[in-house]
Amino acid sequence: MLANQVVVITGGAGLIGQEFVKAVVEQNGIAIIADINSTLGNQVKNDLSKELNTSNIDFVELDITSKESLENCIKYLNTKYNRIDALVNNAYPRNKNYARHFFDVEYEDFVENLGLNLGGYFTTSQQFSKYFKQKGYGNIINISSIYGVIAPKFEVYDNTPMTMPVEYAAIKSGLIHLTKYMAKYFKGMNIKVNTLSPGGILDNQAEPFLEAYKKECSNKGMLDKNDLKGTLVYLLSDMSRYVNGQNIIVDDGFSV
Ligand SMILES: NC(=O)c1ccc[n+]([C@@H]2O[C@H](COP(=O)([O-])OP(=O)(O)OC[C@H]3O[C@@H](n4cnc5c(N)ncnc54)[C@H](O)[C@@H]3O)[C@@H](O)[C@H]2O)c1
């Protein structure tokens, strides 16, 4: 479904990013891991290339908060492939004080985390869409979250040190609206922009949390990272050609 498409996945070396890389390659596309962590990025590239027996995975070092880094990335990919078909905004930058409880969050940390994440997604989208406009086509998929849609169900974190960070609520809800803004702004440019909002993804979380979370879901509870692949491929493919400015939630009914 994605034959020869060049798909850039920011944060492609991370938990969900790796799965997106696999999804693209399985559909005969070329997956670009664009990540700030070059050691991990190169390792993931080598491991997945072996696992999937493919030469269709590339790595490029990218900091989504740096215009210069973005320009270099786009230049490098255009020279090498002469095309970029899609951008998946999936990186997860945060500072060392991220994810504190509400009353402990300092103004400076709130602002910095919004800048790194939502600001990073904005500047990345801006630089790639400049390129897409020149080429006459493009596709942006923003990875948000159910917590960009609904208020947190704080009860699921009872008896755990976890919380749902206030920065995350602002970042992810802002991203859903930024998606709609861009979908409208790009009118006539043949660039579509959509959001994919996952529910919680399994990653060795504590059992009481998993049980409480599951009670809010329809069947499975927390999802496996590969449960997101189908929706990503749909949004990348021609099957969603006229789906624009939308938010697709994949959460086993948690947010309903
Ligand atoms: N894990 C979940 O349960 C979950 C649920 C819903 C939504 N999400 C969203 O999915 C996306 C991916 O999350 P994840 O859990 O895979 O995160 P992760 O921490 O496993 O991976 C994030 C990747 O982003 C990279 N990164 C960090 N800062 C960067 C920067 N400035 N430039 C480029 N790359 C950078 C990291 O090196 C890392 O490889 C995020 O947008 C997250 O909010 C995750």
Q: Is 145 in the pocket of ligand 1 (CB under 6 A)?
A: yes
DSSP assigned state of 230: H
**How many A from CA of 13 to the centre of ligand 1?**
9
pLDDT the model gives residue 183: 98
Q: What domains appear along the chain, each with residue ranges and CATH number?
A: 6-250 (3.40.50.720)
**How many A from CA of 15 to the centre of ligand 1?**
7
Q: Which of 88, 75, 197 is CA-nearest to residue 138?
A: 88
Q: Tell which one of 42, 65, 92, 122 to mutate to probe ligand 1, the residue whose CB is within 8 A of the most ligand atoms.
A: 92
**How many A from CA of 165 to the centre of ligand 1?**
15
Q: Is 197 in the pocket of ligand 1 (CB under 6 A)?
A: no
pLDDT the model gives residue 161: 87
Sign, CA dihedral 101-104-110-113, equals negative
Cross-strand partners of 8: 32, 87
The sheet that has 6-10: what strands, in order across it?
57-61, 30-35, 6-10, 86-89, 138-143, 191-198, 247-250
Encode pLDDT of 113-166 as tens digits. Answer: 999 999 999 999 999 999 999 999 999 999 999 999 999 999 999 988 889 999
Q: Tell which one of 9, 15, 45, 203 to mutate to probe ligand 1, the residue whose CB is within 8 A of the most ligand atoms.
A: 15
pLDDT the model gives residue 164: 95
pLDDT the model gives residue 60: 98
Residues of the chain with pLDDT under 70: none
Please check whether residue 101 is in contact with residue 163, taking contact to mean a CB–CB distance below 8 angstroms.
Answer: yes
Cα angle 225, 229, 233 (rounded to 5 degrees) comes to 160
Report the catalytic residues: 168
Counting atoms of ligand 1 from 1, which one is nearest the CA of 69?
Answer: 32
Please check whether residue 93 is in contact with residue 36, taking contact to mean a CB–CB distance below 8 angstroms.
Answer: yes
Structure tokens at 158: 């009872």
Measure the CA–CA gap between 93 and 115, rounded to whole angstroms.
10
Sign, CA dihedral 35-8-229-45, equals negative
Q: Is 91 in the pocket of ligand 1 (CB under 6 A)?
A: yes
Burial class (CB in 10 A: 0-12, 13-18, 19+), 145: buried
Measure the CA–CA gap between 244 and 256, rounded to whole angstroms.
22
pTM above 0.75? yes
Cross-strand partners of 223: 201
